[in-house]
Every structure is written in structure tokens, then in C-alpha cells.
Amino acid sequence: MESKIIEYAGNGITARVVVSAANVLQGMKRTRLRNAHGPLEKMPEEEVIARVFTYPDLIAAAREIEISGLDDVPTFDQFVALPEVLAIQWEEAVYALNPHWLPQADDEKKE
């Protein structure tokens, strides 16, 4: 499987994330994470987006995650506390390898 390595150092954090083109199990993990949250109606809109889209996509596509201070895969709260620059680099790698995970307009879905 094709993969990309993201390395980040800054803000007191070092991180190394290996992102891959998704296999079936990673796709299923993404689906499970997208549905693993409480009631959305009381959450701020940016938290809903992060819980339903960003966190599941980035975590599911990661084969390896090493972030200083964390022993395991970051929880949602740990994830949203990470530096935005790291998340942007991680997200770019995820969608470069998994363009089918990008949201599509209804017109694009029909084609």
C-alpha cells in the first residue's frame, strides 16, 4: 500500500504519523469512528465537523502514530489539542492517498 510519513516538531511536541491508502478495515474503522459520538445538536459546529469528519478520517488512515506525551492513538480531546499545522499536514496526506474520502457534491456522485 502506498503511504506517506508526516513528521512534526514544534510547540513542545514531536510527532511521526504514517498515513496509508485505506484498505477495507481502515474504511470500516472510519465508519465506526464517524458514528462514535454523543448527541451532536448540543455541540458547537466546529466540534461536530471535527468529530464526524476530521478525526475519523485522520485516525483511520494512520497506520502508525507516535506523538510525544501519548502512549496510544489520541483520543478526540487529545487530537483537537494538537497543533493545527500537524493536523493540516496529516489531513493533506490522508486525502492525497484517499481522494475517495473527500466530500463530493451531489452532481459529482452521480457521475
pLDDT band at 106 (very low <50, low <70, confident <90, very high): low
Specify if 111 maps to a domain. Answer: no
Counting the structural domains of the chain, the total is 1
Report if residue 12 sits inside a domain.
yes
What integer is the mean pLDDT of 99-111?
A: 72
Q: Is residue 107 part of a domain?
A: no
Q: How many CB atoms lie within 10 A of CB 54?
A: 18
11-55 per-position pLDDT tens digit:
999 999 999 999 999 999 999 999 988 888 889 999 999 999 999
Residue 22, domain member (yes or no) = yes
pLDDT digits (tens, 9 = 90+) for 57-77: 999 999 999 999 999 999 999
Where residue 86 falls among pLDDT bands split at 50, 70, 90? very high
- Amino acid letter, 99: P
Single-letter residue type at 47:
E
Question: Does residue 96 belong to any structural domain of this protein?
Answer: yes
The range of the structural domain enclosing residue 47 comes to 3-102
User: Do the domain assignments include residue 108?
Assistant: no
In the predicted model, what is the mean pLDDT of residues 94-103? 95
